[in-house]
C-alpha cells in the first residue's frame, strides 16, 4: 500500500512538472478531475473493515509449516510488485511526451493504494486471534501468491499491558 502511494506521488509530481512545461490546461484539468474521482473510488473500495474475498481465500488456503520460512523481503517485493514498478517506469517515461498518460496512471495508483489500506489490519487481527503468522511463500512472479502459516504468539501480542502504579 505504501509503495503504491509513493508511486502515485511520484507520478503526480512528474505529471505536474510535465504539464507546466507544456502549458496544457485541458490535460491539467482532466488529470486533477481524474485524481479526485480516483480518490473517491479508492476510498469507497478501501472503506470496508473486513478482508476482501481474495485475501480471505488466500489466508484460508495458507500452507501450514512449523518452521519459519526463508525470508527474502527484497525478492518478495520484486516478485509481487513488479506490475507497479512497470506502471511507474512506463508512465513516468511517457510523462515527457504525453503527460496525460502519467496523470491517468496516477489515478490508478491512488485507487490501488486507497483500496488496500485496511487489509493489513484485517490480516493482523486474524494473526492475533489465531496466534499465527503469515508469510509470503516463494513463487514465480507470474503465478498466484501463496502464503505459509506458522505458529506465532498466542493472542493479545499487539496490545501493551498498562503499567500499574
Q: Which domain holds residue 48?
A: 2-151
- Report the range of poorest mean pLDDT among 2-6, 39-43, 121-125, 132-136: 121-125
CA atoms within 13 A on the CB side of 107: 16
Residue 34 CB-density burial (10 A; 0-12 exposed, 13-18 middle, 19+ buried):
middle
Residue 163: pLDDT band by 50, 70, 90 thresholds? low
Do 126 and 143 meet the contact criterion of CB atoms below 8 Å apart?
Answer: no
Is-contact 100 33, C-beta < 8 A? no
On whether residue 66 sits in a domain, the answer given is yes
Q: How many domains does the chain have?
A: 1
Query: Residue 33: pLDDT above 80?
Result: yes
CA 150 to chain centre: 23
CB 65 within 8 A of CB 150: yes
pLDDT of residue 111: 92
Q: Does residue 91 lie in a domain region? A: yes
165 located within any domain:
no
Asked if residue 40 is part of any domain, the answer here is yes
d(CA 10, CA 89): 10
136 vs 37 pLDDT, higher one: 37
Residue 32 resides in a domain:
yes
pLDDT in the model for residue 98: 86
pLDDT at 27 over 80: yes
Q: What is the pLDDT of residues 101-160, one digit of tens each?
A: 888 999 999 999 998 888 888 788 888 888 888 888 888 888 888 888 888 765 555 555
| The pLDDT value given to residue 48 | 79
- Looking at residue 35, its pLDDT comes to 92
The pLDDT of residue 28 is 86
How confident is the prediction for the chain on average, in pLDDT?
84
Residue 37 has pLDDT above 90, yes or no: yes
Q: What is the pLDDT of residue 119?
A: 80
Amino acid at each position: 500500500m505504501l509503495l503504491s502511494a509513493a508511486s502515485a506521488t511520484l507520478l503526480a509530481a512528474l505529471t505536474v512538472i510535465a504539464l507546466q512545461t507544456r502549458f496544457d490546461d485541458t490535460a491539467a484539468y482532466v488529470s486533477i478531475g481524474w485524481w479526485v474521482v480516483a480518490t473517491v473510488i479508492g476510498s469507497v473500495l478501501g472503506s470496508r473493515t473486513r478482508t476482501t474475498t481474495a485475501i480471505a481465500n488466500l489466508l484460508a488456503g495458507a500452507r501450514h509449516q512449523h518452521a519459519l520460512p526463508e525470508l527474502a523481503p527484497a525478492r518478495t517485493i520484486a516478485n509481487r510488485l513488479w506490475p507497479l514498478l512497470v506502471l511507474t517506469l512506463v508512465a513516468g517515461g511517457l510523462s515527457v511526451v504525453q503527460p496525460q498518460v502519467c496523470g491517468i496512471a496516477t489515478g490508478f495508483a491512488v485507487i490501488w493504494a486507497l483500496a488496500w489500506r485496511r487489509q493489513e489490519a484485517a490480516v493482523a487481527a486474524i494473526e492475533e486471534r489465531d496466534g499465527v503468522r503469515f508469510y509470503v511463500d516463494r513463487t514465480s512472479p507470474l503465478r498466484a501468491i501463496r502464503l505459509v502459516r506458522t505458529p506465532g504468539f498466542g493472542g493479545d501480542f499487539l496490545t501493551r499491558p498498562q503499567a500499574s502504579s
